Each structure stands twice: as C-alpha cells, then as structure tokens.
Amino acid sequence: MLLHANCNILFHDLQKFHRDLPPTPVFAYGTSKRTATIPGPTIEALHGVDTYITWENNLPKKHILPWDPTIPTAIPQDHQGVPTVVHLHGGIDEPESDGHGHAWFTKGFKDRGPRWTKNMYHYHNQQQPGNMWYHDHAMGLTRANLLAGLIGSYVIRQPQVEDPLKLPSGNEFDRVLVVCDRDFYRNGSLYMNTTGNNPNIHPQWQPEYFGNVIVVNGKAWPYMVVQRRKYRFRIINTSNARFFRFYLSNDLPFIHIGSDSAYLDRPTTSKTKLVAPSEISDVVIDFSKSKSSVAVLANDAAYPFPSGDPVNDVNSKVMKFIIKDHHVNGPSHVPKTLVKYPSPNLSTALKTRYIAMYEYTSPSDEPTHLFINDLSFDAPATEFPKVGSSEVWYIINLTEDNHPLHVHFGLFKALEQTKLLDFDKFQDCMVKKNNAEKCNVHKHARGKKKPVPRHERGWKNVYKMKPGYMTKIYVRFSYIHSNVSYPFDATKEPGYVYHCHILDHEDNVMMRPFKLVN
C-alpha cells in the first residue's frame, strides 16, 4: 500500500484577519512558520491510501489567551509550555491516533499527558469519502486552543465513487469554507473574557464564548467573486459555541449533498440550514439562478441557541458573493441519486443506552459545570460497545441549551426527537436517581415529535440535541460502505470519547469515555 507522509507543526504566529485590524497573535498549523495559517492547510487524502502525520508542538511557554485551572485541565508538571493534541473530527482510526484529551504533549514532547502513546499519528483513510476537520483536543484547553487558531480541514476523496456524480470540482468550484466567530481588541489581539460567570468557583470559565466578528477561511466578513454556475461548498462550523442558521439574501436555495463526513443518498433543497458547532454541511449553490449580482450568506440563529439573544447587524453577516453578469458552462445538474449506504436495522442493535445531559448551577442560577449521566470525564467508562456492532442510544437533554453531540469513531443516524412531558417532574427524578428507566422515561417521552430534517437523515458524527427532548439515534461501530474489518485494533488504549461540541461545555466536563471490546 502506498503511504502518504506529512508533517504539520504548531506555531505562535501573526495573522491579518481584516485590513482595519493590526496583525493578530495566533496559534496556527503549517509545515513551516512561513506557511502556517488559520485555518491550517487542507489535507486531501485518497481513500485507501494511509496518511502519517507527526504533530510537533512549537507553541510558546505561556498561552496567549486566559485559561482556567479549576476545571479538569492538561497542566505540565513544570507549568511551562502550552499542551496540545490533535483530533481528526470524523476520522475512523486507531485509538492511539484519535487525539484523546489526556494524550497531550508540550514542545519537543518534553512533557506528555497520561494517555500519550506516540509521536506519529496514522490515519488509515479506509472510511467513506467525505469531509472532516482537525483541531486541538487538549483536556480543559480545547476552547482556548481552537479560539487561538488550531483548526484545519481534511477531505477524503474516492474518485471511482465521486467522479460519476459530476458535481462541481476543482479548486475554483469546490471550496471549503471554515466559519467561526471571534472578538478582537483594538490592537488586533484576540478577546476572551478573563472573568468567569462564577468567579468564586471558576475564575475564568464561561459557559459559552461568542464573538461579533464572523470569520471565514481566516478573514473577517470576506467576499468571493463567483460565476453564474454551480459551486460546491463544504461548510465547517468551527465556532466555540455559536450555531449558524444560514440563508442567502437573494433567496437562492442550498442543495444538500452531504452532512458531516458522508454523502446523502439523494440531494435535497432548503432555503435555510442550521449548523451547530463542529457540524459540516456539504452543499451546492447554483448562482445561475440568481436575479441579483450580490448574495450575502447570512445568519439568524440566536445565541446561545435556541433561546438566547437575537443576532445583530454585525454578527448576522457571514460573507458576500459577488456574482458575475455572464453565464458560463458548468455542471448542468446535480444527480438525482448520490451515494446509497445501508439504512439502520434496529433489530440488529446489540444494546440500548440512555445518555442524559445535565447542567449544574450556583445559588445565583449561573452554570458551574456540565456532566453526561451525572459523571465527570475522568470517572471510569460505563459504555463498552462491541467492535462491528450497532446500538440504539436515547439522548435525554435535561438542560435549556441545544447540545451538539459528537461521537468519536462511530457514525450514527438520528431517527426521531420526542418532547418530554411533565418535564420538571422527570428532571427532578433524574437528578435524584440518574436512571432514565427508573424515572419511567418512556411515559414522559410522549410529546410532540420533531422530525429529522431531510438533509440530516444521512450518517452523521454530530447531531443537535434539542432541549427538553429525547433524541433516538442508531450508532454503528463499523464501516458504513463495506463489511471489511478495521485495519487496526479499535479496542486498544486510550479508547474513544463522546461529548457536547460546545467547547466551553466539553472542557467543563460534558464528555465521557467509551471503550470498544471484541
């Protein structure tokens, strides 16, 4: 088998986000200090061709952003250096290369976390073609390290599967859009609140970070000149906590062809698209249908979502498309069928699990921390799925926020969301017993059913868990495109995790380990 070697390095560098801002000190990925950027280089892999990456840490001795040692955090023994570890979000790979939060390391691998195993990560690229992204995953520092700039995209291509679809292709017409929100000081440096919402408990930690400046591919509110033809956009929401409900100002629809790291079985259209932190939306936009010469990609999602503040004139704008006048030849259609993967077979599920999301507050009703199943991250694993198996998980959201649940390694389909009736009674029981079955969850989960949107019915690795609802998902711990076995031992240490992908929640500590078994 051919091997594709690569080496990415982490730097402390400067980046110009906007012409009216001074250069910003950032952390960035790159193969050299000269080429390091935010986002980092897009890594393009071929299905079946392995990628080896040595992630080297060249970050400074101290962080450029505030961090809070009162939450579970990666802290070097000598308190020197910024810990980091890289997670390939959506990757189906060996545990040693998954980027466990305790597998962190400092500059020159001088200090290493308790779950660190090796320098060089091995990505097998045996999974279905699709979109992923890589980012820092250091325990307790994820929100600060991503905010500082440690994000980048990763695409697996499989020409024999994708070329017959004749979708827009090439560097000009097939584009990755890495979207996030940031705030800045006048001197150009990144702004992050230095005071926690409960400073007597957590001096710095805040339950969510929101910035008013919307950044796309490292530029604030950029524009792109496009032809009157179809373009493919792989949109990745890399924000800490902001949901985007995208729409186009000229009323053009999104043609959805993929969600997260897998193609849909057939395209579907909509005028809006809600994308949670860490979700990837793969869409085609046909600018030949525009009646105007300008289209603004805009956002109207409240923050926090769904019951927070409405967007304003600044953070409601994402980027601008300037549409040329003349029409050009391009792909004339999006195919009626894309890539068909097996549908869930509930009769084959080996296990049913109940996963409850809790938020804990201070006497002043301010959040202090968040748990899954009333357990912190460092409590022993309670989920042991079998390699090659499928399971049904019921995700019970006992909080007021929408939590994007990300499952490392596994792919899943969202089946239905059901409102919990007599919610206060059920919540009180769960706080006391932490047992959904003993609290008669199915007697409460009899309210309004929220259908899964057509463009979200494919195989995903993130789904939005609606507050006050129980969400049923079918999780698969095997490939979806073939029956071949993994080319690695998925049962090895340090195992995998699942967590809320609001980074401030993940850090404190809405994340749990799970271990695969044979």
Complete domains list, the chain, with CATH: 3-157 (2.60.40.420), 165-327 (2.60.40.420), 346-514 (2.60.40.420)
Read off the pLDDT of residues 337-375 as tens digits, 9 standing for 90 and up: 999 999 999 999 999 999 999 999 999 999 999 999 999
Strands 317-327 and 223-228: parallel
The DSSP output letter for 190 is B
Amino acid letter, 470: M
| Strand order, beta sheet including 151-157 | 40-46, 151-157, 130-136, 86-89
Q: What's the confidence (pLDDT) of residue 10?
A: 77
Read off the pLDDT of residues 214-234 as tens digits, 9 standing for 90 and up: 999 999 999 999 999 999 999
β-sheet bridge partners, residue 371: 358
Residue of 66, 83, 65 whose CA lies nearest to 74: 83
β-sheet bridge partners, residue 224: 321
The predicted model gives 136-165 an average pLDDT of 98
Checking if the pLDDT of 411 tops 50, the result is yes
Q: Measured over all CA atoms, what is the biggest interatomic distance in the chain, rounded to whole angstroms?
A: 66
SS3 29: strand
Q: What percent of the chain has pLDDT over 70?
A: 98
The per-residue b/e assignment along 36-48, b for 16 or more CB within 10 angstroms, e otherwise, is bbbbbbebebbbe
Q: What's the confidence (pLDDT) of residue 7?
A: 56
The predicted model gives 276-305 an average pLDDT of 97
Residue of 187, 107, 88, 1 whose CA lies nearest to 406: 88
For the beta carbon of residue 346, count every other beta carbon within 10 angstroms.
12
Checking if the pLDDT of 455 tops 90, the result is yes
Strands 24-30 and 3-15: antiparallel
**CA distances, 502 to each of 240, 462, 511 (Å):** 6, 11, 11
| Strand order, beta sheet including 317-327 | 223-228, 317-327, 294-299, 244-248, 272-275
Q: What's the confidence (pLDDT) of residue 493?
A: 97
- 123: which 2 tokens? 């990505």
**CA distances, 343 to each of 92, 256, 264 (Å):** 19, 19, 12
Residue of 290, 296, 295 whose CA lies nearest to 316: 296
Plot region of 78 (φ>0 → left; ψ -120 to 50 → alpha; else → beta): alpha
β-sheet bridge partners, residue 262: 259
Q: What's the confidence (pLDDT) of residue 32?
A: 85
The helix/strand count (H/E) of the chain reads as 5, 30
- 299: which 2 tokens? 């956002």
Q: What's the confidence (pLDDT) of residue 129?
A: 98
Residues with Cβ within 8 Å of 446's Cβ and at least 6 positions away in sequence, in order, are: 418, 421
CB-CB contact of 53 with 119 (8 Å): no
Q: What's the confidence (pLDDT) of residue 8?
A: 62
Q: What's the confidence (pLDDT) of residue 328?
A: 83
Mean pLDDT of the residues in the chain: 96
Read off the pLDDT of residues 187-212 as tens digits, 9 standing for 90 and up: 999 999 999 999 999 999 999 999 99
Residue holding tokens 């024999």?
Answer: 160
CB-CB contact of 117 with 513 (8 Å): no
Quote the CA–CA distance of 9 and 354 in Å, as a whole number: 40
Quote the CA–CA distance of 224 and 241 in Å, as a whole number: 26
Q: What's the confidence (pLDDT) of residue 331?
A: 72
Checking if the pLDDT of 500 tops 60, the result is yes
What backbone torsions phi and psi does residue 104 show, to the nearest 5 degrees? -70, 165
